[in-house]
Amino acid sequence: MKTIACPKCSHKFALDQALNREIELQMREELGKEFKTREAEIRKQLTREATEKAAHNSAELQEQAEKAQLEAERRLADERDKIRQSAQDQMLEEHRLKDAEKNKQLEDSPATRSSR
């Protein structure tokens, strides 16, 4: 194994250690850059997915709100129809009772009794 000396401190070390250290530093730098690039891509992807999911959820909630609104309007219209029908029935019953009362009065009046 060959050794070399540091030009500054004259420390001797194996040549393969120097080469390994250089390769290690180069690999760390490359892997660090790759990691940061990949991290940025993943962050963008996650942000895009979260935005899409939020938009989808918002659209679903809007759709549910619209359905609930339509259902409430339908129920309200049904209740109005029931109330309207009940009022009409009550008016018809009152009218029928008034007609029956008038007919009874006409039957009970002295003029109709004498003609019998």
Would you kindly state where each structural domain of the chain is located, as residue ranges? 3-102
- pLDDT tens-digit series, residues 40-57: 999 999 999 999 999 999
pLDDT of 114 > 60? The answer is no
Query: Is residue 69 a contact partner of residue 62, using CB atoms and an 8 Å limit?
Result: no
Which residue matches tokens 């790759």? 34
Distance of alpha carbon 53 from alpha carbon 95, whole angstroms: 62
Model pTM? 0.47
As a whole number, the mean pLDDT across the chain is 89
Query: Is residue 3 a contact partner of residue 15, using CB atoms and an 8 Å limit?
Result: yes
**Residue 89: left (phi > 0), alpha (psi -120 to 50), or beta?**
alpha
